[in-house]
Amino acid sequence: MTPGSRVRRGGFSLLELMVAMAVMALALSMLYRVDIGAVRGVADVAQQQRAGVLARSILDARDAVPAAGWREAGHDGGFDWHVSTAPWPTPPGLDVGATVLHEVVVGVQWAGRQGPRSIELRTLLPQARPEAGAAAARARR
């Protein structure tokens, strides 16, 4: 070996280590962003499921709709909800004694991460039949 020659030993130079650290930091930051996006997506789905459960429980509160209709609104756990009904058109030629149906719409709104969100459930419920005792009492008056 001559006095002016350099011997390369195994290992990494400082520059190689710095480049490797920069690549690792970039990869970790991208993984972090993907992970945060997944967590936010799960939170959005959880909010939507809670809103659906609330709408379903409001709908399950009644088996029938009064003849005058059903209009109601409220607020529960960060969700605003409303219920409205409208008579469902009866097909012509249907039996006079047939059950009258009402279309029931339950809407739930909440503030999401990217602005207001909402869901809506629609179904048909029968109109409540007047009780026999109530009709007789009204007739006596």
Domain boundaries, the chain: 14-129
* Residues of the chain under the 50 pLDDT cut: none
Residue-level pLDDT at 23? 93
Residue-level pLDDT at 113? 81
Residue-level pLDDT at 90? 79
Residue-level pLDDT at 123? 94
The burial of 48, by beta-carbon neighbours within 10 Å (0-12 exposed, 13-18 middle, 19 or more buried), is given as: middle
Model-level pTM? 0.64
Residue-level pLDDT at 45? 87
Residue-level pLDDT at 2? 60
Residue-level pLDDT at 57? 94
The per-residue pLDDT for range 46-69, each reduced to its tens digit, is: 899 999 999 999 999 999 999 899
